[in-house]
Structure 1
Amino acid sequence: MKIAIFGTRGIPNHYGGFEQFAEYFSVFLAEKGHEVVVYNSHNHPYQEQHFKGVQIVHCYDPEYRIGTAGQFIYDLNCILDMRKRNFDIILQLGYTSSSIWHFLLPKKAMIITNMDGLEWKRTKYSKSVQQVLLYAEKLAVKSSDYLISDSIGIQKYLQTKYQKPSEYIAYGAHLFEQPDETVLSKYDLEAYNYHMILARLEPENSIEIILDGVAKSSDEQPVLVIGNHNTAFGNYLKTKYKDCSKIRFIGAVYDINQLNNLRYFSNLYFHGHTVGGTNPSLLEAMASKALIVAHNNEFNAAILKENAFYFTSAEDVNKILIETKKSDNLQKIANNFEAIANEFNWEIINGKYAHFFEECFSKGVNGKTEL
């Protein structure tokens, strides 16, 4: 098959979850003998035309000049290029800035869309922007031949709201099996004597709830907050907790080896995401043998099951901090690690995607509905 992948900043990954998936899956497809094109931003750090057997097409992306609006132009440029090529399948990763151009997608190609999370529920957006995103979601659902959900919760949501089925295929992670305690010296930490939060500093990631619990707790272990804090919400949090010395805002960390070691040697790892989908950082925490304390919602519970502690309030966080030690919960950690090995590893996830593509290709283009 001739397959296009778009909706990311490009490969190899220099940004986030969808980019990581696009890198792994495109290389997997190329190794299986498929012809694969991945669309990259024109200013992506990788400027070659091929990557491990995958063809790279760079398209002009003005986001660096004009902000978020540039994403719409970038997606448009990718789609216009697709019209010049004879793709069998186009994999659309997300929809927020691409679905408005659905009418320009090649008619003969099969459109398969990974619907990501419930973007319109993100509280960082104004009500008007949330309405636009909800409309974009509807356009993506209606204009795609087949849908993919990376969580059971999203799958149920799409079936209930749009009466459209989707294939559940989760995200993946690599097992982390070579811990190196020397990494901790950079952060002045002792093994198993600190907690951590790794997330974008946004309201829907429960950062404030977690830190409220930390601030009121008698537990004195330091808490690392990893993520870009030079934002409006980040500045608000830094101001609110400026007198709580055990809370350390250390900024973004992109070195995967450092992140894996920080997760591995932490006592508690807080995962506060609330808005849909299987979050990549959650699977990476499981793969790094972290003891996870997660926000209690259906998306997190579907992945972690009974192998985590759950919170909904600052009081819950405080109680967990006081009562919970990693060394007392090794079975939960082992169960999560085994789940990565048997269910969420990249080889299995890539295989499920490839099998779904083959099934869809045999059925043909038949999933679109009237807009």
Structure 2
Amino acid sequence: MKNVFIIGSKGIPANYGGYETFVHKLTEKKISKEIKYHVACMANDDKEFEVNGARCFNVKVTNIGNAKAILYDINSIKCVCKYIEENNIKDAILYILACRIGPFMKHYKKKLQRLGVTVYINPDGHEWMRSKWNAAIKKYWKVSEKLMVKHADLVICDSVGIQDYIKKEYREFNPKTTFIAYGSDVEEKNEKLSAEAIRWYNEKSVKKGEYYLIVGRFVPENNYETMISEFMRSNSDKDLIIITNVEKNKFYDDLVLRTAFDKDSRIKFVGTVYDEKLLKEIRDNAYAYIHGHEVGGTNPSLLEALASTRINLLLDVVFNREVGRDGAVYFTKEPGNLGKLINEVDMYDIELIDALEKKAKARILNHYSWNYIVKEYEKQFL
């Protein structure tokens, strides 16, 4: 029996979030009886329970602001080491999601080696580039990433672009890497709207099939300014529906000042949608999806869009093109580029739309389905 300990996600069952969904799917769709998963869960107690056949162990962590996640990972490693020692487990794997605890890895790697534990890490995207961090935190993230890679036995990258970056950036350590993507599923579209969807469309004054859609965190690196200002340049008679955790903060205020989107009735910030079934219906019934993420990795919201939305407009960066290939159309941040593309997309005929949808869904089915991803992980673990 191969014991695989997973730390770094907030735990399962998944409510929201990429890592949480990944761990939930990995355990839910488990095929091999030779693997036993142990999943760390952020909590206020130290209880144990079972989800999807996985042993879930709560890790108590004090709320100390930005450093809470670091403390959580450290406490999780301590729990893993204690459990392995007490149960005399041999040849285990510790899979660490995200690169938060690099400066502490040398110390814990020695103990893990003594216990016969192999350490895998998932570096996610370029966390050190995210605008929400100040200069000191960005520097910590970069140093932490470097030290995590240095002390890992294997780096599992969810994007070929990230794998190339890890190999090049940290070639001094000659890191062992592999590529296993994040997953998504293509599900049958219901032609008839649910009662919840009808209520949502009425409440938000949105018409089925008459909107472009954006779903993502409300942060500058997701290029909201480009997408909004370019949509405003376009002649589209459709709406731009933005599902995000919008906060009336400095970024929002600056966006209003720079774009005056509040004067364009087509631009509609509609808040968040945490109901996955409802969100899928909203994706299914969008005219097109616009994806402006550029900070590394395979983005879950992009996979979900390719699996659901008929036309996908993606920012032309290596990570997005790697996923979308010829199942999407691409734009740059050059002024006028996206606006012109939106005008063209508005005029697409049904044959072209059908072809794009078919290619996008084929990408998901053949390379990103959860069943495929779980098989790839199990091969690696075993």
Q: Same fold (TM over 0.5)?
A: yes
After TM superposition, what 4+ stretches of structure 1 lie above 4 angstroms from structure 2?
none
Larger mean CA deviation between 22-31 and 149-158 belongs to: 22-31
Match of 1:247 in 2: 267
Q: Distance in 2 between matches of 1:184 and 1:341?
A: 29
- Deviation (angstroms), 1:185: 4.7
Q: 1:30 to 1:60 in 2, by over 3 A?
A: farther
Corresponding letter in the other structure for 1:27: E
Q: Is the 8 A contact 2:222 2:294 kept in 1?
A: yes
Q: Distance in 2 between matches of 1:220 and 1:185?
A: 23
Q: Distance in 1 between matches of 2:33 and 2:147?
A: 32
Match of 1:198 in 2: 215
Q: Distance in 1 between matches of 2:28 and 2:193?
A: 32
Match of 2:58 in 1: 58
Larger mean CA deviation between 225-234 and 87-96 belongs to: 225-234
Q: Percent identity?
A: 29
- Deviation (angstroms), 1:158: 1.0
Match of 2:338 in 1: 317
Aligned length, in residue pairs: 353
What does the per-residue CA deviation read over 1:269-304, in whole Å, with 9 as the maximum and x for residues that have no partner? 001110111001111111113311000001101111
Q: Distance in 1 between matches of 2:52 and 2:181?
A: 24
- Deviation (angstroms), 1:122: 1.7
- Deviation (angstroms), 1:181: 3.0
Q: Is the 8 A contact 2:287 2:309 kept in 1?
A: no
Corresponding letter in the other structure for 2:81: R
Root-mean-square deviation (CA, aligned residues, Å) is: 2.0
Larger mean CA deviation between 284-293 and 133-142 belongs to: 284-293
Match of 1:233 in 2: 251
2:180 equivalent to 1:144 = no
- Deviation (angstroms), 1:48: 6.3
Corresponding letter in the other structure for 1:283: L
Corresponding letter in the other structure for 2:340: K
2:372 equivalent to 1:348 = yes
- Deviation (angstroms), 1:125: 2.2
Q: Distance in 2 between matches of 1:30 and 1:77?
A: 30
2:99 equivalent to 1:101 = no
Q: Distance in 2 between matches of 1:14 and 1:178?
A: 23
Aligned residue for 2:245, secondary structure, equals: coil
- Deviation (angstroms), 1:67: 2.4
What does the per-residue CA deviation read over 1:56-83, in whole Å, with 9 as the maximum and x for residues that have no partner? 10011334xx322211111121111111
Aligned residue for 1:83, secondary structure, equals: helix
1:203-222 alignment runs, 5 A limit: 203-222=220-239
Corresponding letter in the other structure for 1:155: Q
Match of 1:72 in 2: 70
Q: Distance in 2 between matches of 1:257 and 1:90?
A: 33
Q: Distance in 1 between matches of 2:281 and 2:28?
A: 27
Q: Distance in 2 between matches of 1:260 and 1:303?
A: 19
Structure 1 residues without counterparts, runs of 5 or longer? 359-371
Q: Distance in 2 between matches of 1:265 and 1:238?
A: 28
Q: Is the 8 A contact 2:289 2:309 kept in 1?
A: no
Larger mean CA deviation between 173-182 and 327-336 belongs to: 173-182
1:25-40 alignment runs, 5 A limit: 25-29=26-30, 32-40=33-41
Q: Distance in 2 between matches of 1:258 and 1:238?
A: 28
TM-score for both structures, normalised by structure 2: 0.87
TM-score for both structures, normalised by structure 1: 0.90
Corresponding letter in the other structure for 1:114: N
- Deviation (angstroms), 1:263: 1.1
- Deviation (angstroms), 1:113: 0.7
Q: 1:146 to 1:355 in 2, by over 3 A?
A: same
1:257-296 alignment runs, 5 A limit: 257-296=277-316
Q: 1:214 to 1:43 in 2, by over 3 A?
A: farther
Corresponding letter in the other structure for 2:218: L
Q: Distance in 2 between matches of 1:178 and 1:192?
A: 13
Structure 2 residues without counterparts, runs of 5 or longer? none
